[in-house]
Structures are given as structure tokens and as C-alpha cells.
Chain A
Amino acid sequence: MMRTLLFILLGCFPLLASAGVTFSQLASVSSTPEQLSGRFVQTRYLSALDADLVSEGVFNYQRDGFIRWQIRQPIESELLMTPQTIINRQDGQELLRLESDKSPVVALLSSIFFSVMTAEWEVLENYFLLSGDIQGQQWYADLLPKDSSVLQVVSRIELKGDTLLREVILHEKSGDRTTIQFQQLLNDQ
């Protein structure tokens, strides 16, 4: 009896899998260039004030190396992320330096953001459950944290793209959310 049931279940498994999207499918559709640069527009929605804070600037990254995030409007501020540190500079001065080995929160934060930006699906798979769909070149992924420690940092991530990532929405459990749109992406530096 159990064996029959198991057979049926196993038989259904490929069907079940095709109903959603797997991280490996996403990996095959999207490309993760070694280097990438472009412009971004970021809109942060603050639920308590029901207001948007918009900022824009340029960014570039080196896979497995760093992400440089330069805000031009409304303030001048630069964020340099490596897997070990998060450094913020304003007016050429180092304002903030967070070491991931000193704070577990920082470690988690930088690990997630790094993986989102550089589309490291195998890392994201450790933290999130995936749903979404792929239609031709266009794909959409919806990530829900597996783990409550991740939930403290981000409650849901939405990603949209074609060969490259085009839009990220980071939801927080407070109801705030951050939408980042990428433009003028260039991967042949």
C-alpha cells in the first residue's frame, strides 16, 4: 500500500516541479556577468508616513568582489560593499564601516544583497523559498524567507528581469518597501 502511494507521489513529482520555477531554471535564463554597471532609481516607501523617498545614482559591481553604489540625488553618498564589509563615504569621508564578522545582522544583510544584485541563485536558495514564472526572456521571481532570522531583515523579495536583473522590490515586515529599478546596464567594461 505504502509503496503504491509512494510510486504515485514520485510519479507526480516532475509535474509538481514544473508548476513553479526552480532556481536552476532562473540561473539558465538570466545571465550573471562578471562586471556590470548602470544607473538606478530607488524609491523607498515609508508606511508610517505614507510617503516615498526617491533617490538615484549609478552603480557598478565586480562579481565576488564588490558592489559600489553611488547615490547622486538628493544626497551625495557612496556605499561600498564587499562580502566582509559595508563602508559608507560622504564627502570623501568614511562615515560608516560595518564588519560582517562582528555583527551577524550585517553578515546576513550583505550576503543577501550581494546575492540579489549579482544573481547568485545558489546562495539565495539557502535563504528563500521560490515562486514565480518565466515567459520567454522575461522572468519574475518571488522570494519568501525560509528562516525567521532573514525575516527580520527582509520579509519578501520580488525580482524582475530578462537576461539581466531589471527591478528589485525589498519588503520589510514593518510595511516599508524599497523598489530599485536599473537602467542603462552595461556589462562590457
Chain B
Amino acid sequence: MISENMRHKAVATGWLLLVVLLVSLAIKQGPAFDSSIFALLPESEQNPVITSATEQMAEDFSRRLILVVSGEQGGAVRTAVKTAASALLELDEVASVVWQVSDNELEKLSDELNPYRFTVLDEDLRQRLLEGSFEEIKARALFRLYSPLTMGNNSLIEDPFGLYAELSMNRHSHLNLKISDGLLQVPDTAQPTYMLIVNLAGDPFSFKVQNSVLGVVGNLSQKVRQAGVEIRRSGMLLHAAAGARQANSEISTIGLGSLLGIVIVVLLAFRRLKSLLLMLLPVAVGCAVASAVTLLIFERVHLITFAFGAGLVGVAIDYALHFLCERRVTDSGFVLKKILPGLGLGLFSSVIAYAAMALTPFPGLRQMAVFSVVGLVAAWLTVVLWLPLLTRQDVISELSFAIYLAKLRAGLPRLEQQPLLIALLFVASFVAAFGLWNSKSLDDVRLLQTSPASLINEEGQVQKLLGAGSSSRFIVISAASLEQCLQLEESLAVDLNMLKDTGELQGYRAVSQVLPSLQRQQYNAELVGQLYQSSLAGFYLGLKLTQQHGLDSTANLTQGQATLLSPEAWRQLKSSENWKDLILQQTDGSVVTIVSLTGEVDDVLQARLRSIVTGYEGMYYVDRVGGITELLTSYREQIVDWVGLAYLLVFLILLRRYRMQVWRILLPPLLASLFTLALLAQIEQGINLFHLMALILVLGIGLDMGIFLTESRDHSHTWLAVSLSAYTSLLAFGLLAMSNTPVLHHFGLTVLLGLTFVWLLVPLMRNATPGEND
């Protein structure tokens, strides 16, 4: 007896050391979190090129805040723009504000490409050269000379055919903007409308950045509203701030509410603070060890893992409650012996259920599986090893709460005695299954959306005004060098221009539009040479220019043909500013460029783009929104399969021990899940991933309930333990149903319904207790 006690102590100490070791190792490594939805994508489907391109696009987007200022009076609007710019520039959190173009920048902008007029050509002009429509080019040049409008520089010697005039006429920025009064004006609006682009110095998810930047903008909006000026905003910063605000308010309302509820009921039931602390200890150890091990294995813990892993509390608390309730009626030395089979089986079945997820190809699910299994084992070990030692001095005293609950339960009918109830359950199950069969599922990206509708609306207005390209749908091109990327883009442009001509594609933006490949530039120079050769003499004769003029012009051409726009020179240009973000230099020296698409991209067009892209090496079509939807769909389908498999495995294991009684354990969570899903299909828009994830939790707690009750032959204190477990989980997660964050709401609502059903179904399927007739 003594030696057994000593051994127990030694093992308990060993476990303590292991916990301390794991946690300190994890702390040493430093916590790292991942919130990118793409980290959840199966590895095989995740191309590093696409990943880095999407990350780059997201990064650019997240660091940018766009302000659109508009009002009745242009003067007031311009003043507001200037005030906003100077106020924002004062902040440390703002790296730069793009809001004005100085005279000298404008001068540079208008002339900087002139030296490259023979090698960088306007696309339409290039087409005419290719078709050999020299007469048309000549006619256009003549028209420019005699037109009352001055269109570009009419330098008859340097550029008789107005190559540069053609280029500068058609050059436009990627945003729908013009420069007026040195400010960036949005054209074609009912009211004078100007724009500012704020580049943030800090992380948009940092509270400090959110507070200072949005504080300044908010104050200003209020101030200028009196002058009839409106400021609209767009940017990740706003969504991040809205999310943080919402999370804060929900933690302080829902979170505190549920914690308070749990503490009150546990204190009421046990009437001892020590019991509450003992109950929370295994949960805390479970969470700490699970986080530590997940971090050590995966290096970064995904936030969704945490959200799901938190659900573990509900299962982990079972073991503690079960022990503490049993301890009240059993002597210190015998508790463990009595409940160990139940505890063991409970752990085993839950671990099997969760571990099944580890076999899926999804890294997200695998991480959740590791987190859950480790957490459960740690909580279980803590209960088995530490709680007996910590409760050695406690006296036996029955809990009045347990007796009260048992009475309540005794009033409920038992299923086996009520054929009507059986029939009712059958009908209900049939109706539920039928309803489910006809229900639809929902894998919309909006599930992950956390921002209020007003914000999304404001964002949409700004994007529409600016005619900005989509940051979620684009084409990625990967090659060994920039030159190769540009050449690929030029081939792709032929396809894209065809789609543009038919009106299917509104437009696109590619670096090659402003920086042609060197190969293309050389060819351009040749084409221009042909034009000069065939048309210059005739053109000059018509204008009565001398032969000397002709010689001067040809000399000019020869010099210009050799002036190629190198990528290095291009990067120095003022006009390249807005295009640089389309080039991503990879660490291995290779280059990735992005072709962004403007306007609506519908399913038909997407299919066209996908098939075009497959024709080229190293070219990919990326649809982030669709990608997320597909991701949600495949996760949902996988989870359904694995939940099914988990039930089957658990059934086989439990069958060995419980034989014909196994239905008492399995049926409650199974039916509860069915009813819950059927109800959800009716009250929500469709079944989604997060509903199903919550059902795994319902299964875990439901199984424990059935196993513990069966093991203890439906002892009153066991019933208290499982009731408390259901109740605490209900409070901890069910209350999330009130959350405004879709993910949490879906999770919470499912737990709320599911656990309520389980708790109602379990007593119906109980075994006859002594005193009750069978």
C-alpha cells in the first residue's frame, strides 16, 4: 500500500516535470500564430509561387488605407484633403501619404518616357505597325499637326509621326484618377472627389496603429461634415479595427457572462472553492500542454486551431468533474479504482474520434487533432495522477445537488418502457434525416467575414469609384528572370486582348504594358525603322521640309532605336511607382509577376482564364475567394467522412465492453447531432464547416456522458458530474451563439443545440437503476 502510494507520487512528480519542461520549451521557442486561411490548404495544392504572390497582394492591401473625400464645394474638399494629409503625416504609424503631385513631378511624368519613344510603343500604334498601316499613321500625324488641339509634342524632327504623343495620350494610371490643382481627383463624379492613399508604417492589426490613424480620420470626418464634406474609407485597417472592437466587446459580455455562470453553478454544487480550483487545474494543464506541443511540432499555431481547441475544455473538464463527484461518496484510496475503467474508456474513445482527423490531408485538421489529443491526454493524466493526491484529506459528504438532480431524472420516462416515445424518436429521426437530405450546404467566404455590412458597403463604394483591380483574382507568372516573365506576359496579352475585344474582360494590368520585354523593345525599334524608311520622305515632302531635315530625323531615329528601357532604368521612373508592386523578386533569384484583372470576373470568364493559363509554363490563375470557398467545401466534406468513421471506430471499441448496451452510449450523441443538423439547416442558411466541427465536440461530451453513466450504473453523483460537464460546455461555448462573428456564432449555436439534445436524450436511454423496475 505504502509502496503503491510512493509510486503514484513519483509518477505524479514525473508528470509535473514533463509539463514544466514542455511549457518552458515552448516559451523558449516563442509563441507564433498564424491567421492566414491559406495555411490551412492541403500542402499538395499549395504552390509556393501562388502562396507568396497572394501573401504579397494581401500585404500590400493590408498596409494601405484609402480615403475618398467628396463634397458640394471643391474648395472645402481640397482644404479637407490638405488637412487630412498633414494630420496623418504627423503620425509615427504612417509611413507616407500619397495625395499630391508637385509641378516638378508632373513635368517629369510627362517627359520621362520621351527618350524611349522608338522602343516603348503605344499598343494600338504597334498593331498598326505590325499590319503595315503606315498611311494611317501618317494621316494621324498630319491630323495632329493641323488640329486646333495640341496633342503632345509636335516635334517634326525628333518625332514626326508622334509616337510619343500616341503613347502619352493613352497612358493612364491603374487607378481612375486625374491630377487637378496638384491633387488626385477622381473624375466623372457628381461632386468634386479627391483621394488620399495612406501607407501605414505598422501592422494594421496593432491596436496602436488602429487607434491613432482611425482616431485622426474620425475626428477629421466629424469636423469637415459641417462643411458638407464626406470622407469614405477603404482598407484592411478598418476591418481589423472593427474585428478587434467586436472581439473585445464580446469577450467582455459573452466571455465574462459564461465564466460567471460556470463559477456560480460549480460553487453551488460543491459549496467549496477548492473544488472549483481542482476542476480547472486539469483543464489549464491540458490547454497549456496542448499549446506547447502543437507549437513545438508545427512551429506556428493557427488561430482556428485555438478556437477549436478551446472546445477541448468541455471534454477535458469531464474527467475532473467525474473524479470530484465520485470523491464525495468514495474514500480516497478507492476512487481511482472505481472510475478508472470509465475514465480510460472515455479518454480512449475521444482520442480515437479526434485522432481520426489527423489522417486527413489537411494541415489545419491535423493540427487540431494533435492539439485535441495531447490536450485530452494531459488533462486526463492530471486528473488521474494529481487529483487523488490533492484530495487525500477531503472528507466524504454527499452532495445535495446530486440527490436533487437524480430525483429530477427519475421523473423522466425510460425509453424502453415507452413504445410511444420510441415511435416518436423514430419519426423525429426520419423527419430530421429527410430534412437534412434536402438541405443545402453553405461554403461562402462570407462565413469568415467578420466586418459589419456598413463597412463592407463603404469599402465597395470606394473601390468602385477608383475602378481598382481585384485583389482576390489575378494571374501569377513565374520565371527565371524578369525578361522571361515579361515575354510570357506579352504572349498572354494576345489572349487577354481578345477577351477584352469581345467585352468579356473589362481590363487588366500587367508590368509589360509599361515595361515591354527587351526582345519586344528591339522588335519595336525595327518596326519604327520600317515606318521611317517607307514614309518619312513622302511625309516631309508634303510639309515642304528640306532634305537636311530628313537626315536630322533619321539620325535621331538611329540613336533612339538603341535606347532600350532597361528594368533598372524603369524602376527609377516616376511613372513606375504604381506598377512596381506587380513584380515580386523571389529569394532564389527567380521572378514572379502578377497580372491583375479589373471589373467583374464571372464563372464563364474564370473558366476561360483557367484554360488559357494552362497553355503556359509557370502561369497560374488565382482566385482567392473561390479558393477559400473550395477550401471550406473540402474541409466540410472531409469532416463529414471523418465524423462517420469516428463513430464507427468508437462503436467497435465500445461493443467489446458493453455488448448489447452500446446503443445507450452511442445513440444520444448520434441522434442529438442529427436533430441539431436538421434544425440548423432550417434556421441557418445552410450547413457549414463550423457546424460540423462543433458536432465533434458534441460527440466527445456525449460519449463521456454515456460511458460514465453506464460505468457507474447511473449513480446520482455521476449524473451530477455529466450534467455539470454539459452545463459548463453550454455556458462556455453555447453562449457564443450570440456572437456577431459568424464562425463563433455557428460553433456556439451547434454546441448549444447539440448538448441540450444529448442531455435530454441520455436519461431517456438510461439503464434501470436499483429501485426502478426494468
Measured CB to CB, the residues of A under 8 A from B are 40, 42, 44, 46, 48-49, 53, 55, 69, 71, 74-75, 77, 79, 86, 88, 90, 95-96, 98, 101-110, 113, 146-149, 151-154, 170, 172, 174, 176, 178, 180
- B179 CB–A CB distance under 8 Å: yes
Question: In the complex, are the beta carbons of B545 and A49 less than 8 A apart?
Answer: yes
Q: How far is the CA of A163 from the CA of B230 in the complex (A)?
A: 42
Question: In the complex, are the beta carbons of A113 and B148 less than 8 A apart?
Answer: yes
> Given the interface contacts A101-B187, A180-B148, does A148 sit within 8 Å of B106 by beta carbon?
yes
Question: In the complex, are the beta carbons of B543 and A149 less than 8 A apart?
Answer: no
Question: In the complex, are the beta carbons of A176 and B148 less than 8 A apart?
Answer: no
User: Shortest Cβ distance from A151 into chain B, in angstroms?
Assistant: 8
Question: In the complex, are the beta carbons of B149 and A113 less than 8 A apart?
Answer: yes
User: Shortest Cβ distance from B542 into chain A, in angstroms?
Assistant: 8
- Which of B64-72, B151-159, B517-525 is near enough to bind chain A? B151-159
**Number of B residues with CB within 8 Å of any CB on chain A:** 41
Q: Mark B159-175, 1 if CB is under 8 A from A, else 0.
A: 00000000011111000
Q: How far is the CA of A90 from the CA of B146 in the complex (A)?
A: 13
User: Shortest Cβ distance from A3 into chain B, in angstroms?
Assistant: 25
Residues of B close to A46: CB separation below 8 A:
154, 156
Q: How far is the CA of A96 from the CA of B545 in the complex (A)?
A: 25
Q: How far is the CA of A102 from the CA of B467 in the complex (A)?
A: 12
> Given the interface contacts A53-B543, A95-B143, A148-B106, does A170 sit within 8 Å of B150 by beta carbon?
yes
Residues of B close to A53: CB separation below 8 A:
145-146, 543
> Given the interface contacts A44-B145, A88-B143, A113-B148, does A105 sit within 8 Å of B169 by beta carbon?
yes
Q: How far is the CA of A47 from the CA of B545 in the complex (A)?
A: 14
> Given the interface contacts A48-B156, A90-B143, A95-B139, does A108 sit within 8 Å of B178 by beta carbon?
yes
Question: In the complex, are the beta carbons of A104 and B156 less than 8 A apart?
Answer: no
The chain B residue with its CB closest to the CB of A149 is B179
Q: Mark B110-151, 1 if CB is under 8 A from A, else 0.
A: 100000000000000000000000001001101101111111
- B344 CB–A CB distance under 8 Å: no
User: Shortest Cβ distance from B576 into chain A, in angstroms?
Assistant: 18
Would you mind naming 7 contact pairs between A and B with Cβ atoms under 8 Å apart? A44-B145, A49-B549, A88-B140, A101-B188, A103-B171, A107-B187, A151-B103
Besides A69-B148, A86-B149, A176-B154, 11 new A-B residue pairs in contact (Cβ under 8 A), listed by A number: A42-B146, A48-B156, A77-B143, A77-B146, A79-B148, A102-B170, A103-B170, A105-B169, A107-B187, A174-B155, A180-B148
Picked from A44, A69, A106, A147, the residue with its CB within 8 Å of the CB of B180 is: A147
The chain B residue with its CB closest to the CB of A168 is B148
Question: In the complex, are the beta carbons of B180 and A149 less than 8 A apart?
Answer: yes
Question: In the complex, are the beta carbons of B146 and A49 less than 8 A apart?
Answer: no
Q: How far is the CA of A48 from the CA of B180 in the complex (A)?
A: 30
- B577 CB–A CB distance under 8 Å: no
Q: How far is the CA of A149 from the CA of B146 in the complex (A)?
A: 23
Question: In the complex, are the beta carbons of B181 and A146 less than 8 A apart?
Answer: yes
Question: In the complex, are the beta carbons of A48 and B157 less than 8 A apart?
Answer: yes
> Given the interface contacts A53-B146, A146-B181, A147-B181, does A174 sit within 8 Å of B153 by beta carbon?
yes
Question: In the complex, are the beta carbons of B172 and A103 less than 8 A apart?
Answer: yes
The interface centre, meaning the residue of A105, A107, A172 with most chain B CB atoms within 10 A of its CB, is A105
Residues of A close to B168: CB separation below 8 A:
105
> Given the interface contacts A49-B157, A49-B545, A149-B106, does A104 sit within 8 Å of B177 by beta carbon?
yes
User: Shortest Cβ distance from B594 into chain A, in angstroms?
Assistant: 23
> Given the interface contacts A53-B145, A104-B172, A107-B178, does A153 sit within 8 Å of B150 by beta carbon?
yes
Picked from A42, A44, A96, A102, the residue with its CB within 8 Å of the CB of B172 is: A102
The interface centre, meaning the residue of B107, B150, B157 with most chain A CB atoms within 10 A of its CB, is B150
User: Shortest Cβ distance from B536 into chain A, in angstroms?
Assistant: 15
- B257 CB–A CB distance under 8 Å: no
Question: In the complex, are the beta carbons of A148 and B107 less than 8 A apart?
Answer: yes
Q: How far is the CA of A77 from the CA of B103 in the complex (A)?
A: 35
Residues of A close to B179: CB separation below 8 A:
104, 149
Q: How far is the CA of A98 from the CA of B149 in the complex (A)?
A: 12
The chain B residue with its CB closest to the CB of A153 is B150
- B644 CB–A CB distance under 8 Å: no
User: Shortest Cβ distance from A159 into chain B, in angstroms?
Assistant: 14
* A-B CB contacts (within 8 Å), total count: 106
Question: In the complex, are the beta carbons of B154 and A103 less than 8 A apart?
Answer: no
Residues of B close to A103: CB separation below 8 A:
169-172
Question: In the complex, are the beta carbons of B170 and A178 less than 8 A apart?
Answer: no
The chain B residue with its CB closest to the CB of A84 is B188
The chain A residue with its CB closest to the CB of B542 is A74
User: Shortest Cβ distance from A81 into chain B, in angstroms?
Assistant: 8
Residues of B close to A75: CB separation below 8 A:
142-143, 146
Question: In the complex, are the beta carbons of B182 and A148 less than 8 A apart?
Answer: yes
User: Shortest Cβ distance from B501 into chain A, in angstroms?
Assistant: 15
> Given the interface contacts A90-B143, A101-B187, does A42 sit within 8 Å of B156 by beta carbon?
no
Q: Which of B672-702 contact A (CB under 8 A)?
A: none
Residues of A close to B169: CB separation below 8 A:
98, 103, 105-106
User: Shortest Cβ distance from B28 into chain A, in angstroms?
Assistant: 57
Q: How far is the CA of A96 from the CA of B147 in the complex (A)?
A: 12
Residues of B close to A152: CB separation below 8 A:
106-107, 110
Residues of B close to A79: CB separation below 8 A:
143, 147-149
The chain B residue with its CB closest to the CB of A147 is B181
Q: Which of B164-218 contact A (CB under 8 A)?
A: 168-172, 177-182, 187-188
Residues of A close to B180: CB separation below 8 A:
147, 149
Residues of A close to B106: CB separation below 8 A:
148-149, 151-152
Q: How far is the CA of A98 from the CA of B110 in the complex (A)?
A: 18
> Given the interface contacts A154-B150, A180-B148, does A49 sit within 8 Å of B143 by beta carbon?
no
User: Shortest Cβ distance from A4 into chain B, in angstroms?
Assistant: 28
Q: How far is the CA of A148 from the CA of B107 in the complex (A)?
A: 8
Q: How far is the CA of A69 from the CA of B102 in the complex (A)?
A: 35
Residues of A close to B178: CB separation below 8 A:
104, 107-108, 149
Of all A-B residue pairs in the complex, the 6 with the closest CB atoms, nearest first, are A104-B178, A148-B103, A55-B146, A149-B179, A148-B106, A152-B110
The interface centre, meaning the residue of A103, A104, A172 with most chain B CB atoms within 10 A of its CB, is A104
Q: How far is the CA of A40 from the CA of B179 in the complex (A)?
A: 32
User: Shortest Cβ distance from A110 into chain B, in angstroms?
Assistant: 8
Residues of A close to B136: CB separation below 8 A:
95
Q: How far is the CA of A40 from the CA of B146 in the complex (A)?
A: 12
Residues of A close to B102: CB separation below 8 A:
148
Picked from B140, B142, B148, B182, the residue with its CB within 8 Å of the CB of A178 is: B148
Q: How far is the CA of A53 from the CA of B155 in the complex (A)?
A: 13
The chain A residue with its CB closest to the CB of B145 is A53
The chain A residue with its CB closest to the CB of B171 is A103
User: Shortest Cβ distance from A97 into chain B, in angstroms?
Assistant: 10
Q: Mark B75-106, 1 if CB is under 8 A from A, else 0.
A: 00000000000000000000000000111001
The chain A residue with its CB closest to the CB of B177 is A104
The chain B residue with its CB closest to the CB of A117 is B148
Residues of A close to B110: CB separation below 8 A:
152
Residues of B close to A48: CB separation below 8 A:
155-158
> Given the interface contacts A104-B172, A147-B180, A149-B179, does A109 sit within 8 Å of B149 by beta carbon?
yes
The chain A residue with its CB closest to the CB of B188 is A101
User: Shortest Cβ distance from B122 into chain A, in angstroms?
Assistant: 11
Q: How far is the CA of A113 from the CA of B172 in the complex (A)?
A: 21
The chain B residue with its CB closest to the CB of A102 is B172
User: Shortest Cβ distance from B149 into chain A, in angstroms?
Assistant: 6
Residues of A close to B187: CB separation below 8 A:
101, 104, 107
Residues of B close to A44: CB separation below 8 A:
145-146, 154
Q: Which of B508-554 contact A (CB under 8 A)?
A: 542-543, 545, 549
Q: How far is the CA of A174 from the CA of B169 in the complex (A)?
A: 17
Q: How far is the CA of A101 from the CA of B168 in the complex (A)?
A: 15
Residues of B close to A96: CB separation below 8 A:
140, 143
Residues of A close to B154: CB separation below 8 A:
44, 46, 176
Q: How far is the CA of A146 from the CA of B136 in the complex (A)?
A: 37
Residues of B close to A113: CB separation below 8 A:
148-149
Q: How far is the CA of A53 from the CA of B543 in the complex (A)?
A: 8
Residues of B close to A101: CB separation below 8 A:
187-188
Residues of B close to A98: CB separation below 8 A:
169
